[in-house]
A and B are shown apart, each in its own frame.
Chain A
Amino acid sequence: MGRTLAEAIIASHTADPVEPGSICRVRVDFAFANDITAAPAIAEFSRMGAEAVFDPARCAIVPDHFTPNKDIASARQVQVARGFARKQGMLFWEVGRAGVEHAFLPEKGLILPGEVILGADSHTCTGGALGAFATGVGSTDLAAAWALGETWFRVPETIRVVMDGKASPWVTGKDLILSLIGRIGVEGARYAALQFEGPASDALPMDDRFTVANMAVEAGAKAGLFVPDRRTLEYAKRRAARPFEPLYPDPDATYSQTIRIDAASLEPVVALPHLPSNVKTAGECGRIDLDQVFIGSCTNGRLRDLELAAAVLRGRKVHERVRLVVIPATAEVFAEALKRGFIETFLEAGAAVSTASCGPCLGGHYGILAPGERCLSTSNRNFVGRMGHPESEVLLCGPLVAAASAVTGRVTDPREVLGLEELPKGVDEE
């Protein structure tokens, strides 16, 4: 029987029979934690009686959540992580040279097509953009993978998402994934793997694919995978830190469900509080005034996102009532955005720009909300209290809606602010 992409990757990493629902012991190609999840993983690693990680070149800690260290307790957590990484000889990067893990690790060629990737962070599914089986786990599972070089998986059913048609240039990867979550709900893909394909999927730049795969977990999915194509392989080959072997679904694979999306029918959208599935088009939101706009995170802090935001903000000003916080997701993105003039545009528009970090996304620092405040954010979660006080609100959107709304001070369809001729054609690193 044919295999889906998720099944093909798991099968290449296990000796156990692979079918949906079966439990397999699976070899892990790369396993990482962040500054919040590393400390408990290190404690469990030691309780397991483990001495050395299975392969220091395949184990990493990325300090990104509360960095640059926001307080003494966070500094202490990073200190523990750094000490462990040095002792083990594993991968670790200091703030300023690193970035938000799910943007940074693909850049470094550490997440590659056909691989099994385990991360102690729920947005590890971002790596699926490269055709990897990448999934988030807790600290204890991660510690076990560091010790053994393997983990266990229940083989997920695969839901195929076919993106037909051609999306309008105003529709970004974020609009695609929010529209999908709006349709299937926050548990529409619970325990399943999403497999993205079709003409509108193929047309997506890599940066937009990362955005789509990143939010697979917001539909409850275990992984969100793009079938590798020319674009995937060009990206991966240029950056690969080790040899890799891309894998593909069989033509006769069995899917638990096929969802078809007509990309041509999609519009720029916003997810209203307090679930990512609470989706409306930006145009039908009515008047929603904003206190803050955040552009960044593992969802939308990449070069393409900043390019789109800069196109909107060029020659315009952030509304006097609004704080705009822009955080490029990695040091490389920051440097490139600087070179291309995007950072200058943000500063001239009146934005606050910071070094790579998760920042306010999870209510860490760099833009926490007071009671009653409302933030429109390009990040991935709008749960109660996510970005600060439990009586604050977070709304989610892509970079075009975010930048346009920063200018008007209220939720805005980008077409209200920008002409089509001002829209950049697409960097996509080609």
Chain B
Amino acid sequence: MSDRFSGRAWVYGDNVDTDVIIPARYLSTSDPAELAPHCLEDLDPGFMKRMVQGDILVAGNNFGCGSSREHAPLAIKGAGVSCVIAASFARIFFRNALNIGLPILECPEAVSGIRSGQRIEVDLAEGRILNLDTGQAFSAKPFPPFLRELVARGGLVPTVKARLEEKRRSTH
């Protein structure tokens, strides 16, 4: 996964919940490829028809509130969204996104400074967001060191894998 990407912004409001990100009627699978076609279907039926790979979701407060379904970040990632920028994230979605490797940035200033359709460039490692159409630059809130390490190790799966291997070595 590259740390820098650019794409067009899709801007939505506050409290985008996991039921509209991926409705429960599609939860009989957790395959991102099967979930992706229904991403944001109940919020914006045009989203999947018109978005292109690499586009960026921009939303207000409490993005991803509601259910704990990991299917929500999986659907967004499966759809080809490169990054979600929100004023704030609901806590379970926040954990899930980091765990499955969907890039997210918390930055209220960027949310007020970006309109739908504008071209956005993101440097994930630096937490820098640039609105290419207006030239405005924004800095996202840095994650605590523990989470930066988790992301750097590639998410929770490799982290747990390393812990288990360590445990096995120490017991044998």
| Contacts from A to B (Cβ < 8 Å) | 23, 36-37, 39-40, 43-44, 47-50, 65-66, 71, 73-74, 76-77, 119-122, 124, 136-141, 143-144, 147-148, 152, 154, 186-187, 190-191, 220, 222, 275, 362-364, 381, 383-386, 390
Distance of A42 Cα from B20 Cα, bound (Å): 25
B157 near A222: Cβ-Cβ < 8 Å: no
Evaluate contact between A141 and B61: CB separation under 8 angstroms. Answer: no
Contact A187 B61 (CB under 8 A): yes
CB neighbours (8 Å) of B62 from chain A are 186-187, 190, 220
B91 engages A37 (CB within 8 Å) = no
CB distance from A379 to the nearest CB of B (A): 12
Q: Are A73 and B29 in contact (CB under 8 A)?
A: yes
Decide yes or no: A362 and B24 within 8 Å by CB, A137-B68, A139-B70, A186-B62 being known contacts: yes
Residues of B within 8 A of A71 (CB): 28
B28→A74 contact, CB < 8 A: yes
B contact residues vs A (CB 8 Å cutoff): 15, 17, 19-20, 23-25, 27-30, 41-43, 61-62, 65-71, 73-74, 88, 90-92, 95-96, 99-100, 144, 146-147, 155-157, 159-161, 163-165
Q: Are A48 and B161 interface neighbours, CB within 8 A? A: yes
For the A-B complex with A362-B24, A383-B17, A390-B20 known, give 16 more contacts whose Cβ atoms are closer than 8 Å: A23-B146, A37-B69, A44-B156, A48-B157, A65-B27, A137-B68, A137-B92, A138-B92, A138-B96, A140-B157, A148-B163, A187-B62, A187-B65, A191-B91, A220-B91, A384-B17
CB-nearest residue of chain B relative to A119?
A: B68
User: A140-B99, A191-B91, A385-B20 given as contacts; is B15 within 8 A of A50 (CB)?
Assistant: no
Interface CB pairs A-B, < 8 A, 25? A23-B146, A23-B147, A40-B30, A40-B74, A50-B160, A76-B28, A77-B28, A122-B67, A138-B92, A143-B160, A148-B164, A152-B146, A187-B15, A187-B88, A190-B90, A190-B91, A220-B62, A220-B65, A220-B91, A362-B67, A363-B24, A363-B25, A381-B17, A384-B20, A386-B24
Residues on B with beta carbons closer than 8 Å to the beta carbon of A74: 28
Chain A residues closer than 8 Å to B156, beta-carbon distance: 44, 140-141, 144
Instruction: With CB as the reference atom, state the residue of chain A lying closest to B101.
Output: A140
Contact present for B66 and A381 (CB under 8 Å) = yes
Give the complex CA separation of A124 and B28 in angstroms: 21
Contact present for B146 and A364 (CB under 8 Å)? no
Question: In the complex, what residues of A have CB within 8 A of residue B159's CB?
Answer: 144
A34–B23 alpha-carbon span in the complex (Å): 17
Output the least CB separation between B122 and chain A (Å).
23
Q: Which of A76, A136, A364 contacts B68 (CB 8 A)?
A: A136
Instruction: Name the residue of chain B whose CB is nearest to the CB of A69.
Output: B28
Complexed CA–CA distance, A143 and B30 (Å): 15
Residue of B nearest to A144 (CB): B160
Q: In whole angstroms, what is the CA distance A71 to B17 when docked?
A: 25
Contacts of A381 in B (CB 8 A): 17, 19, 66-67
Distance A363 CA – B19 CA, assembled complex (angstroms): 10
B91's nearest neighbour on chain A, judged by CB, is: A191
Q: Considering the chains assembled together, what is the distance between the CA atoms of A71 and B26 in angstroms? A: 12
Q: Which residues of A contact B71 (CB under 8 A)?
A: 40
Q: Which residue of B lies closest to A24 (CB)?
A: B146
What's the nearest-Cβ distance from chain A to residue B164, in Å? 6
With A138-B99, A140-B99 as contacts: A48 and B146 at CB distance below 8 Å: no
In the assembled complex, the Cα of A49 lies from the Cα of B152 at a distance in Å of 19
Contact A43 B30 (CB under 8 A): yes
Pair B70/A140 contact, Cβ less than 8 Å: yes
Cα distance, A23 to B149, chains bound together (Å): 13
The answer to whether B15 and A122 touch across the interface, beta carbons within 8 angstroms, is no
Q: A37-B70, A40-B70, A121-B68 are in contact. Are A49 and B91 (CB under 8 A)?
A: no
Residues of A within 8 A of B73 (CB): 138
**List of B residues within 8 angstroms of A73 by Cβ:** 28-29
Interface centre among A50, A220, A383 (most CB of B within 10 A): A383
Q: Are A122 and B144 within 8 A (Cβ)?
A: no
Asked, given contacts A47-B157, A364-B24, whether A385 binds B69 with beta carbons under 8 Å apart, the answer is no
Q: Are B61 and A122 in touch, CB under 8 angstroms?
A: no
The distance in angstroms between the C-alpha atoms of A36 and B70, with both chains bound, is 10
Shortest Cβ distance from A121 into B: residue: B68
Question: How distant is the Cα of A122 from the Cα of B24 in the complex, in angstroms?
Answer: 14
Which of B69, B100, B146 lies at the interface centre, i.e. has the most chain A CB atoms within 10 A of its CB?
A: B69
Give 10 closest A-B pairs by Cβ, nearest first. A73-B28, A138-B96, A138-B70, A385-B42, A140-B99, A390-B42, A40-B30, A122-B68, A187-B62, A362-B24
Closest to A72 in B: B28
Interchain nearest-CB distance for A47 vs B (Å) = 5
Nearest Cβ in chain B — how far from A348, in angstroms?
Answer: 32
